[in-house]
Amino acid sequence: MNTFSRRNFVSNVVVLTAALAAAVPALAHRDHESDRDYHERHSYREGKVFISTNAPGNNELLVLAPDDTGSLSLVKRVATNGQGTGAGLGSQGAVTLSTNGRYAFVVNAASNTVSTFALGRNSVELTSAVDSGGLQPISVTEYEGIVYVLNAGGSGNVAGFRNTHGQLRPLHDGVRALSAAGGTNAAQVGFGADGEVLVVTEKATNSITSYNVRRNGTLSQPIVTPSSGQTPFGFAFDKRDYLIVSEATASGASSYRFPETGPAMAQLISASVPNTQGAACWVVTTPNGRYAYTTNAATSTLSSYRIARSGSIELANAVAGTTGVNAGALDMAVTPDGEQLYAFAHRSLQIVSFSVKHNGDLTRLGASSAIPSGSAGLAAN
The pLDDT, as a whole number, for residue 8 is 42
The pLDDT, as a whole number, for residue 64 is 97
Residue 42 confidence class, pLDDT cut points 50, 70, 90? low
What is the tens place of the pLDDT at every residue in 237-279?
999 999 999 999 999 999 999 999 999 999 999 999 999 999 9
**In whole numbers, what is the pLDDT of the chain averaged over residues?**
91
pLDDT at 301 over 50: yes
The pLDDT, as a whole number, for residue 41 is 55
- Transcribe 226-251 into DSSP letters: E-SSSSEEEEEE-TT--EEEEETTTT
What is the tens place of the pLDDT at every residue in 199-239?
999 999 999 999 999 999 999 999 999 999 999 999 999 99
pLDDT at 151 over 90: yes
What is the tens place of the pLDDT at every residue in 337-349?
999 999 999 999 9
Q: For residue 85, which amino acid is it?
A: T
Residue 38, SS3? helix
Residue 314, SS3? strand
- Transcribe 322-360 into DSSP letters: E--TT-----EEE-TTSSEEEEEETTTTEEEEEEE-TTS
pLDDT at 30 over 50: no
Handedness of CA 287, 291, 297, 299 (dihedral sign): negative
What is the tens place of the pLDDT at every residue in 43-97?
999 999 999 999 998 999 999 999 988 899 999 999 999 999 999 999 999 999 9
The pLDDT, as a whole number, for residue 1 is 42
Average pLDDT over residues 131-139: 98
Average pLDDT over residues 17-27: 37
